[in-house]
Structure 1
């Protein structure tokens, strides 16, 4: 196999960054109509997924789980609180810590969201194995980057 030429290396279609940005935009577009009936945006859905796994959790822990800084997670949390899905409160064990917890309405929303992954796979025309393969490749890439 011959190594790519400089011109081939600099083609837009050969850029990893272009493929990732395009894929990210397309994934959000696929999720949008699926999440709208739930009243969630894609970033809010990610917050809810993290809280369905563990609630309550500190704002810092939640932001870490979502790979974002607390200042970015905070507006998402405030919006979900305004929608009655979560509540924020000071930790009983450490008043400096802000805990985020699901409300009964937020807990109940999980049952309506349970089919979201299947709907996404159907729109993509991909099997679970195919989605897992793409996800695992992206996770290896994300884990290889030291910021």
Structure 2
């Protein structure tokens, strides 16, 4: 009989372990670019669409402003982004890539292929894995949202 509480049977631990290993693999690749993994995530949002608002980046990365602000400061200090206050609303700030930030994109383009090589999976297999993980996350977020409204015993 198998032990349902054995560590190696837990989805949570498999995800945790895979997440740590994946982040470490990215870290090694990103060291060459002079950025951290969280900074890379911010840059990905800007490489998708430059000139995003802080709130928009927070939503895209599921971060709060208290976590994002220090990342933006470091990226600005590195000369990769600049903040611009909207002339129509001084309270709102848009984040824009600098020329150096835009140029860094071409140096990062091989990262998905390098990750696939590091994992031994093809790009399509990694895409399928990503889809399963996205579905898992959405299902659990929805389930957690529904259960938050219920009284707990």
Corresponding residue for 2:11? 16
Distance 2:70 2:135 in 1: 29
**Offset of residue 133 of structure 1:** 1.3
Corresponding residue for 1:81? 76
Corresponding residue for 2:107? 112
Distance 1:120 1:20 in 2: 17
User: TM-score with structure 2 length normalisation?
Assistant: 0.88
Displaced runs of 4 or more, over 3 A: none
Query: Pairwise mapping of residues 25-104 of structure 1 onto structure 2 (< 5 A)?
Result: 25-104=20-99
Q: CA RMSD in A?
A: 1.3
The answer for unaligned runs of 5 or more in structure 1 is none
Distance 2:58 2:115 in 1: 24
**Offset of residue 92 of structure 1:** 2.1
The answer for unaligned runs of 5 or more in structure 2 is 146-153
User: TM-score with structure 1 length normalisation?
Assistant: 0.91
